[in-house]
Homo-oligomer: A and B are copies of this chain.
Amino acid sequence: MAPALILRAVEQLPRVTSGEDLVALIISATATQALMPEAGDILVIAQKVVSKVEDRLVALAGVSPSKAAYDLAAETGKDARLVELILSESRAIIRSRPGLIIAEHHCGHILANAGIDTSNISQSEGEHVLLWPSDPDVSAAGLAQGLSQAYGFDIPVIINDSMGRAWRLGTTGHAIGVAGLDPLWNQVGGHDLYGNELRVTEPATADGLAAAAALVQGEAAEGNPVVWIRGCPRSSGRARNSRALLRPQSADLFR
């Protein structure tokens, strides 16, 4: 049989709240499900869960919009309090139009609403939205350290979120926090099947894993935010965080 890439969702993870020990919850739910992580396995976890544990839920009632937020809210038709949060989470607005704000998050990722999410949030205590972790790479590093220590071998961690794409409909999972692996497959000096030197094709392994995991995480009521991945060929490059995935502004043709 061929080597396989296998993704297993952890189905028993309880709903998390602020301040919980996410490493302990993951380990417990993984064990409950008789999943046995091995060296080489990679853990992918959805941003929403990390954000909730890190207390990134914000009540809109407590937000006072600035003049800039009111202006952008008028242009886009969005709630001015949400726009205020988008602005405070961003270092640049890339595009805006009615119904849409594409922003560059402080940590460099470019996406709609600076990643702020209004779904899968209980509305029973008033309108809330969920911000990204303030630095998803730091969050990933913390999880990787805790999990690696508990299991006794290195566990790379990817925090993923669904993003749209410039020219394509629908969303795919993208890596927004990375720890313990090289998110790009460094092929400099490699050769193809015919001995031609490979040029610029450098697979974004972490984004591929994030996209694959999103297939089993689900977005709706069946959501399983934690996924173990086994059998992924990986770059032998050094571990870097998700910043390695960001195109430098000087090479960006689309802002």
Contacts and interface: CB of A to CB of B under 8 A. Distances in A.
A5 interface: yes
B204 A169 contact: yes
A7 B203 CA distance: 18
Interface in A177-222: 183-185, 187, 190-194, 196, 198-199, 201-205, 207-209, 211-212, 214-216, 218-222
A61 interface: no
Nearest to A102: B253
A182 to B, nearest CB: 10
A162 interface: yes
A212 B247 contact: no
B253 A97 contact: yes
A136 to B, nearest CB: 14
A141 to B, nearest CB: 20
Given A119-B192, A166-B166, A215 B208 contact: yes
B205 A215 contact: yes
Contacts of A162: 201, 203
A223 interface: yes
Contact of A212 (B95, B171, B204, B208): B208
Determine the main DSSP class of A at the interface with B.
loop
Interface string A1-39: 111111111110001000000000000000001110000
Interface stretch (A65-73, A120-128, A145-153): A120-128
Q: Most chain-B Cβ atoms within 10 A of its Cβ — which of A3, A33, A167, A215?
A: A167
Given A119-B201, A165-B165, A170 B207 contact: yes
Interface residues on A, range: 35 or more
Interface in A53-68: none
Contact of A2 (B35, B223, B252): B35
A2 B9 contact: yes
A100 B200 CA distance: 11
Nearest to A162: B201
A215 B209 contact: yes
A159 interface: no
A156 interface: no
